[in-house]
A and B are shown apart, each in its own frame.
Chain A
Amino acid sequence: KQEVTQIPAALSVPEGENLVLNCSFTDSAIYNLQWFRQDPGKGLTSLLLIQSSQREQTSGRLNASLDKSSGRSTLYIAASQPGDSATYLCAVDRNNRKLIWGLGTSLAVNP
């Protein structure tokens, strides 16, 4: 049974810091992995999608890596800003379109 774990559960950093959010999954037979962002009271915004054959994806200050064999993904945020404050969730897809989710990391970037 696939389980997704995100560490840390919460993170508070000063503005400008580079930071890493971690996601691990128990079954390496995944099709892709997505990172999402959720602002309080809002919906889910897809940030990056990494196919199982890929090692990383980049979008602006965000970089997500994937190591299928070890069951890990990291989301790297460079030069963090207060606007990055949100909950970050990772979800894995085993090609059956049923995303399996972690509980998320709640990030606070302080001015």
Chain B
Amino acid sequence: EAGVTQFPSHSVIEKGQTVTLRCDPISGHDNLYWYRRVMGKEIKFLLHFVKESKQDESGMPNNRFLAERTGGTYSTLKVQPAELEDSGVYFCASSQLGQGSGNTIYFGEGSWLTVV
């Protein structure tokens, strides 16, 4: 069974450009999360989808960030326009709804973004 997959794995863009990160969760996982780690800082929550609905987007830094989850399957995170401080690793994660082992959150390998 495929895990959480993210694309691109690495991206270098210039300040002011647009980047779109994609995440494919584990099949059947209704919960999808985006997290970010900026160098030297702890990992921070960005937002949480349940199926196609945004359950919690309180961690989104500002309106330059837009996340979507079309049809409750894959998700995209767009940064437009990108700023230098947006550099970091963007992790996507997914989990099943419900209790017990479904609480385990599975992470992708991250999309490493560098804004120059």
Chain A residues at the B interface, C-beta cutoff of 8 Å = 4, 32, 34, 36, 41-46, 49, 51, 89, 91, 93, 96-104
Which residues of chain B (96-116) have a CB below 8 Å from chain A? 103-110, 112
CB distance from A21 to the nearest CB of B (A): 16
Query: Which of B42, B45, B108 is A103 in contact with, Cβ under 8 Å?
Result: B42
How many B residues touch the partner, as a band? 20 to 34
- Are A36 and B107 in contact, with the CB atoms below 8 A? yes
**Interface flag for B85 (CB, 8 Å):** no
CB distance from A106 to the nearest CB of B (A): 13
- Are B91 and A32 in contact, with the CB atoms below 8 A? no
Report the separation of the CA atoms of residues A41 and B105 in the bound assembly, to the nearest whole angstrom: 19
Query: Which of B4, B31, B108, B109 is A97 in contact with, Cβ under 8 Å?
Result: B31
**Given A97-B48, A98-B56: A34 touches B105 (CB 8 Å cut-off):** yes
Report the separation of the CA atoms of residues A92 and B103 in the bound assembly, to the nearest whole angstrom: 12
Contacts of A89 in B (CB 8 A): 43
